[in-house]
Structure formats: C-alpha cells, structure tokens
C-alpha cells in the first residue's frame, strides 16, 4: 500500500503560543480564532484561569507563526445585562469571520443555564461590542460563512441532543441576529474516527469547488476521547448540500503537547487563514493547553473531500 501524504504539515516552531507567553496569569492558551487584519495576523485565544473558567486573549503576528500577546485580555465575561446572565461561567472557543465591513466573533458563553453562542463585533481589534446571542442553550461551535449566500447570512453549528449523536446543522439569517431555516447537514458515521460527535471548526473557506469546512470529530476509546480534524466540502450556492466529506482525518494528536496537556489527545481548531498562494494556515489547540499551527494546500483538502469521501450521514 502506498504511504499516504500528510495533508497538514506542522510548523517546526510548535507550540507557537503557550501560557508562558501571556503577560497575565493563565493556565492554558488554546482553541484560537485567527484572521488577517491590516496586513497582520490576529489571534483570539482561549485561556483557562485557575478557577477553571475561561477568558479570551489577543495576540498578533507578522508572519502568522510568531505571535505576541497583548498585556490585557480581549473578552472576559460581560458585566452588562443581558449578556452577564449567560456568560458567568466563562467565554470560550472564539471564531472570527470578516463579513462586509466588520470582524464578527462567535464564542461559547457558559452559565448555569447551559452553553449558547454569543456574537460580538469589532472593526479595530481594540474595542469589542456584543451584538446578540444567536442560539439558545445548548449549542457550541458556531461558524459564520464569510459572505451572504442567496441574500442571507449562513452559519454552521452543533446543537446537543440526547437522541442523536451530536451533528452539524446549518441555519440562515437576514440580519445575523435572527436565525432559522435550520437543517441537519452532516452526522458522525458509526465505527469511524468521527463516530461519537462532530462539530464545525474553522469558519468555512471559499474555494472554486465549494465551501471548505474543517471540522472536528471525536472517537471514544477505553482511554478517553480522541479529538481529530477532518474536511468537508459544501455546495457554494446551497451550503446545506454537502459535496463530499473526506473519509480520513487530516490531523490527529501526535506531538507530545497534543497527546498530553490539560485534556489529553486533543487537536481542536477554531481558525484557518487562506493565503493567496493556495495554501492555508491552520491553527489548533493542542491538548487544550497550547496553540499549534501548520500549513495545508487547499486544493489537496478539496480533492480529499471529492475523491476519498464518506457519506455525509
Ligand atoms: C469540547 C470543547 C472544546 C475542547 C474539547 C476537548 O467539548 O470543550 O473546547 O477543546 O472538548 O476537551
């Protein structure tokens, strides 16, 4: 059998950001959203405090690999009504999408009422404004498409369920606040690396063949759960239609800081940056403790989805 090519090439400087690089006390640096802003890379990263609750910090970089954290966090649980009521236990896993003229941040808001998704907005990465909660409880992993599709905004997310394995859904909105027309688009597959649950990872990336969705999938073992990353391709004009889901994972925990950490055996992405040369910078949290980066060729990920596919459900 031919050796399979690694689709994601790890950066030799991994981990690229750890708690030792943060100028205030944190226990972890992980699950970061990343985007380009005024020629630089901006990273919004999650950190556990020693209370076990999370906040979101900000770092910037010239090359996308060497990041410098700012002295203050970017988002901490809101003190303002109505937001304070749903963020008391922390803010987690930010994803950033540039739409029209602003950067939108979707994040998980934790409270005694469950986990739901908040939408915040910035134009300068100095100040940030909460817009609305865009789901009820219990939802996680919401990613926004970077443009309107057929006149509407679109998002993917992952509701919780007692009946079905946790799966990826799509919804649409006229204004980013009110969402509907929800539809299931992709489910875990039994006895497959993503059999237990799946969720969106990086915000979808436009390619000529479709929207590239880098998602996470979880496999249960006797030694706990293993989080890996995979790729799916959605129809450009009708993203509720999946054109293909790569049968094999594109990244699994292998480096020591992915295998051992705060939660072992986890690679978890909240962001990827497409470059003009057709490559992608992919960012992931290693073992819920450190930030890692790698590169991939976008066409190779698309090809995986189209030529080596498993059924979307
Ligand atoms: C998920 C989320 C992620 C985390 C992952 C692995 O359920 O809590 O934030 O990275 O588990 O622990």
pLDDT tens readout for residues 205-258: 999 999 999 999 999 999 999 999 999 999 999 999 999 999 999 999 999 999
Residue of the CA atom closest to atom 7 of ligand 1: 140
**φ, ψ for residue 40 (rounded to 5)?**
-115, 165
Query: Which of 31, 95, 264, 289 for mutating ligand 1's site (highest number of atoms within 8 Å of CB)?
Result: 31
Instruction: Report the nearest atom of ligand 1 relative to the CA of 108.
Output: 9
pTM of the model: 0.98
pLDDT over threshold 90, residue 4:
no
The per-residue pLDDT for 85 is 97
**Residue 91 and residue 116 in contact, taking contact as beta carbons nearer than 8 Å:** no
The DSSP letter of residue 101 is: T
The per-residue pLDDT for 86 is 98
CA of 34 to the centre of ligand 1 (A): 18
CA of 151 to the centre of ligand 1 (A): 33
The per-residue pLDDT for 139 is 97
The C-alpha atoms of residue 223 and residue 250 are separated, in whole angstroms, by 22
CA of 39 to the centre of ligand 1 (A): 30
The C-alpha atoms of residue 2 and residue 115 are separated, in whole angstroms, by 44
In angstroms and rounded to an integer, the radius of gyration of the C-alpha atoms of the chain is: 18
Q: How far is CA 103 from CA 40, 106, 205, in A?
A: 14, 10, 15
Query: Which of 217, 257, 287, 288 for mutating ligand 1's site (highest number of atoms within 8 Å of CB)?
Result: 288
Block residue for tokens 């910078």:
281
Average pLDDT, the chain: 97
pLDDT over threshold 90, residue 47:
yes
Instruction: Report the nearest atom of ligand 1 relative to the CA of 288.
Output: 10
Q: Residues with beta carbon inside 6 Å of ligand 1?
A: 31, 92-93, 227, 263, 266, 268, 285, 288
CA of 237 to the centre of ligand 1 (A): 31
Query: Which of 28, 227, 251, 271 for mutating ligand 1's site (highest number of atoms within 8 Å of CB)?
Result: 227
pLDDT in tens, 160-181: 999 999 999 999 999 999 999 9
User: Quick one: which of 229, 215, 216, 255 has its CA closest to 15?
Assistant: 255
pLDDT over threshold 80, residue 84:
yes
The C-alpha atoms of residue 272 and residue 65 are separated, in whole angstroms, by 12
Banded model confidence at residue 3, pLDDT cuts 50, 70, 90: confident
CA of 110 to the centre of ligand 1 (A): 13
The arithmetic mean of pLDDT across residues 174-201, rounded, is: 97
CA of 142 to the centre of ligand 1 (A): 13
User: Quick one: which of 235, 257, 258 has its CA closest to 245?
Assistant: 235
Report percent pLDDT > 90 for the chain: 98
Domain 9-308: give its CATH code: 2.115.10.20
User: Quick one: which of 270, 205, 286 has its CA closest to 239?
Assistant: 205
Domain residue ranges of the chain, discontinuous segments joined by +:
9-308
The C-alpha atoms of residue 81 and residue 258 are separated, in whole angstroms, by 38
pLDDT in tens, 98-146: 999 999 999 999 999 999 999 999 999 999 999 999 999 999 999 999 9
CA of 253 to the centre of ligand 1 (A): 14
The arithmetic mean of pLDDT across residues 19-27, rounded, is: 98
Instruction: Report the nearest atom of ligand 1 relative to the CA of 262.
Output: 12
The C-alpha atoms of residue 260 and residue 226 are separated, in whole angstroms, by 12
The per-residue pLDDT for 248 is 97
pLDDT over threshold 80, residue 10:
yes
The C-alpha atoms of residue 255 and residue 279 are separated, in whole angstroms, by 22
Strand partners, 153: 173
């Amino acid at each position: 059998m031919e050796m399979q090519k690694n689709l994601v090439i790890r950066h030799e400087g991994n981990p690229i950001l750890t708690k030792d690089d943060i100028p205030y006390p944190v226990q972890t640096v992980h699950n970061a959203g990343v985007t380009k802003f005024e020629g630089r890379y901006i990273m919004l990263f999650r950190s556990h405090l020693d209370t076990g609750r999370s906040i979101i910090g900000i770092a910037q970089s010239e090359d996308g690999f060497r990041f410098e954290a700012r002295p203050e966090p970017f988002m901490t649980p809101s003190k303002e009504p109505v937001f304070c009521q749903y963020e008391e236990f922390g803010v987690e896993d930010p994803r950033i999408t540039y739409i029209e003229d602003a950067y939108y941040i979707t994040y998980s808001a934790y409270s005694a009422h469950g986990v739901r998704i908040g939408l915040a907005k910035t134009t300068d990465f100095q100040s940030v404004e909460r817009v609305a909660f865009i789901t009820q409880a219990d939802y996680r992993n919401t990613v926004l498409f970077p443009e309107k599709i057929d006149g509407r905004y679109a998002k993917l997310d992952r509701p919780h369920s007692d009946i079905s394995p946790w799966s990826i859904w799509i919804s649409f909105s006229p204004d980013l606040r009110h969402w509907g027309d929800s539809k299931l688009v992709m489910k875990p597959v039994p006895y497959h690396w993503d059999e237990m649950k799946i969720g969106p990872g990086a915000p979808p990336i436009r390619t000529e063949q479709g929207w590239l969705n880098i998602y996470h999938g979880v496999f249960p073992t006797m030694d706990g759960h293993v989080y890996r990353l995979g790729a799916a391709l959605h129809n450009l004009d009708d993203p509720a239609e999946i054109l293909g889901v790569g049968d094999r994972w594109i990244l699994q925990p292998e480096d020591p800081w992915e295998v051992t950490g705060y939660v072992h055996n986890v690679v978890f992405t909240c962001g990827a940056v497409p470059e003009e040369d057709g490559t992608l910078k992919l960012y992931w949290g290693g073992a819920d403790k450190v930030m890692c980066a790698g590169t991939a060729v976008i066409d190779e990920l698309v090809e995986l989805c189209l030529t080596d596919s498993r059924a979307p459900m």
